[in-house]
Amino acid sequence: MHLRRYEEADRPAVLALAPRLTEGVAPWRSSEKVLTAVTEWVADALERSGDPASFVYVAEDSDGIAGFVSGEQRTHWSGDPELYVGELVVAPAYEGRGVGRALMDAVTAHARRCGLSTISLETGAANANARAFYGRLGFAEEDVKLTKTLS
């Protein structure tokens, strides 16, 4: 497995992974709208990948792209600078093989190079696998969003 910065030739393979970001979304959300939104998030991240404050890393092997992670440097509402992870996706065939951990290790190294001491991200409350994965990496829950649906 090899990790590297995103290149424009990776675009189709990375966009093909975007639907994985629909997993764990609340059941009252429109699946079509969610798919459109996550695909746009990924496309936007790819467009910004050349910006100094942004990043997209891909994991690849001889069979192609196994996963990607994207994000940017930003300021938390408290005023603290942080590295924000917008998307982390691992292809189903590569789950449990260390790809996600390797991509997050690349994010950690990137944060250190930027002189940042905090990495933040968001995931769906129902995405138990992602929440457990991030917990194993040392992430702690900081905010909770509450939603009420009206009938």
Q: Quick one: pLDDT at residue 81?
A: 97
Q: Which residue has the tokens 């891909």?
A: 58
pLDDT in tens, 47-106: 999 999 999 999 999 999 999 999 999 999 999 999 999 999 999 999 999 999 999 999
pTM of the predicted structure, to 2 decimals: 0.94
pLDDT in tens, 1-58: 999 999 999 999 999 999 999 988 888 999 999 999 999 999 999 999 999 999 999 9
